[in-house]
Chains A and B, each alone.
Chain A
Amino acid sequence: MVAGGAPNGGGASAEALSAKVVVQNLTIRYGNHVALRGLDLSIRRNEILGVIGPAGSGKTSFLRALNRMDEFIPGMEVEGRITFDGRDIRRVRNVYALRSRIGVVFPLPVGLPLTVYENVALAPRLRGVRKGSELDEIVERCLRRAALWEEVKDRLDSLGSLLSGGQQQRLTIARALSQEPDLLLLDEFSIAVDPVTTMRIEDVLKDLKNEMSIVLVTNLVQQARRLADRTAFFLTGEHVETSDTARIFSGIVKDPRTHDYIEGRFG
């Protein structure tokens, strides 16, 4: 833990101490294509980190690397160092334990071919929860948090894939929450969700912050403004800057390109 150069070694800054995840010099390639170049970034405890940037800026690749998804994405190569609670995730032997602590939600919902109930009960079952009453309780809590409970409480035994697109996305969020993650990665979660529900989920995210760190990748600059404590701006694989959301949106930026982007001048 005190290895030289590790940001949480002796005399570490407050920043490093409070960081949940520290990313150092992260470069991601797909074959010859460099998706992300030399990223240094940390994710603090109990914060929502917004990640904005136009398509192809490396936002999704960043999320993938955090969950070691490169292992099953052909051609994806990851260099650099990522620590999770101070541990280098490359060296974590039990990648399943790592992934089970990270909840992931992608733009398009993936309702597993199971019932609504089983979709949410799967992660608890995988970690060994057997008791029916305990599972019932987890399922209800997660569905409530994902703002879905009222709509599905009478049809828990119907297939998840029969739900509407927006409901399936909330089911996916409930499933991610059922992992009881420390870190929640949201990649454009609201793309298939109506605005009213999006607002409800955003309220939930503000609460969830007390229990976990959240990375919110979004194309909606205003969503980052509403939710994120800090906002990172990526542009074609380059990490332009990360700063307090309030500062960035009040025009205090280190790089003029950030200002141009949030003002909608390109992208």
Chain B
Amino acid sequence: MTGTAAPLFAGTSLNARDRKIEWLVRALLGLMTALLILPVVIIMALLVVEGGPVISWEFLTTPPVDGMTAGGILPALVGTVWLVVVALIASVPVGVAAAVYLSEYAPDNWLTRAINLAIINLAGVPSIVHALFGVGAFVLFFRFGTSILAASLTLAVMTLPVVIVSTRESLQAVPRAFREACWNMGATRWQTIRRIVLPNALSGILTGIILEVSRTSGETAPIMFTGAAFFLPFLPQGVLDQTMAMSLHLFVITTQVPDAPEALPFGVALVLISMVLAMNALSIAFRVYVRGRKKW
């Protein structure tokens, strides 16, 4: 439009600088992300290379022998499943119910805020402190002894805040307009929760629970004094039995069994981390599936 022949979109010195900064920022952020992935890759590679040869059907289906220097990991594998399942049975109903109350019913007052604060603080308590609490409360006071029940309840108390927070976030992700539309039609709180809120929050709640499982299965400290055994070649028969567990077994053969072949701990670690990653993958797959059919 002007008479001069300045080319269209010719950069000024200012936006040349902006573009350089843009490039730098992007490179820097990308580098940080790459650094983040590095440990995961290295750990997995190490475990597969070192521990891979140990893994066999026999390894998964027989108990340890020869002072845990040989044999398999069956009791630890089964024990971990027991611990996680019982912990879930205890923590999920309580955690989900509390989250529904806090999200859908609780008035915004000092008591609710105090409870929320308590939940956040509970999530920050170190696991070894939970372990001592578990000994005091479940092993001694409730006289469950060192048992799956005591260990699982300790795990449940420890994971409760995370279940509550993830459930509450899933509930809050359902737009409030849906609730109001329902209330305006004369629906009660519970009718609204049952017909609108829960069906749409369910996927998020389940995702949170699955992630919880993966976290619980790796915990060592809370079960160490409350129910997990050093060595027990039998499978547990009930919740009042002690049991071996993958995480503690790994700790034991690494630190307490000097004669164990070097590859053995890597094998155990590989099985444990595979369990955890499988759970996480399941949770991710679930989320992708649900996002595909999101209803708003």
A residues in contact with B184, CB < 8 Å:
67, 69, 99, 102, 104
Count of residues in B whose CB is under 8 Å from the partner chain: 21
Question: Would you list which residues of chain A between 79 and 125 have a CB under 8 Å from chain B?
Answer: 96-104, 110-114, 122-123
8 contacts between A and B (CB under 8 A): A110-B177, A110-B181, A113-B196, A114-B196, A122-B195, A123-B185, A126-B187, A176-B185
B residues in contact with A161, CB < 8 Å:
295-296
Listed residue (A69, A97, A99) with the most chain B CB atoms within 10 angstroms of its CB? A99
Per-position contact with A for B175-204: 1 when CB-CB < 8 Å, else 0? 001111111111110010001100110000
* Interface Cβ pair total, 8 Å cutoff: 62
A residues in contact with B199, CB < 8 Å:
113
Q: How far is the CA of A69 from the CA of B177 in the complex (A)?
A: 12
Inter-chain contact B186/A97, CB cutoff 8 Å: yes
Chain B binding surface, main DSSP class: helix
A residues in contact with B182, CB < 8 Å:
112, 122
Q: Which chain A residue has the least Cβ–Cβ distance from B294? A: A113
Inter-chain contact B178/A113, CB cutoff 8 Å: yes
Interface size class of A (residues with CB under 8 A): 20 to 34
What is the interface of chain B, defined by CB distance below 8 A to chain A?
108, 174, 177-188, 191, 195-196, 199-200, 295-296
Inter-chain contact B196/A72, CB cutoff 8 Å: no
Q: How far is the CA of A144 from the CA of B187 in the complex (A)?
A: 24
User: Is A159 interfacial (CB 8 A cutoff)?
Assistant: yes
Question: Ordered nearest first, which 4 A-B pairs have the shortest CB separation?
Answer: A100-B186, A113-B295, A99-B186, A110-B181
A residues in contact with B108, CB < 8 Å:
74
Neighbour of A99 across the interface among B178, B185, B196, CB < 8 A: B185
B residues in contact with A169, CB < 8 Å:
none
Inter-chain contact B186/A72, CB cutoff 8 Å: no
Inter-chain contact A179/B186, CB cutoff 8 Å: yes
Known: A110-B177, A110-B181, A113-B296. A126 touches B186 (CB 8 A): yes
Inter-chain contact A110/B178, CB cutoff 8 Å: yes
Q: How far is the CA of A175 from the CA of B178 in the complex (A)?
A: 13
Closest CB in chain B relative to A176 CB, distance in Å: 8
A residues in contact with B191, CB < 8 Å:
126
Inter-chain contact B177/A98, CB cutoff 8 Å: no
Q: How far is the CA of A12 from the CA of B255 in the complex (A)?
A: 92
A residues in contact with B185, CB < 8 Å:
99-100, 103-104, 122-123, 126, 175-176, 179
Q: How far is the CA of A97 from the CA of B186 in the complex (A)?
A: 6
Closest CB in chain B relative to A180 CB, distance in Å: 11
A residues in contact with B196, CB < 8 Å:
112-114
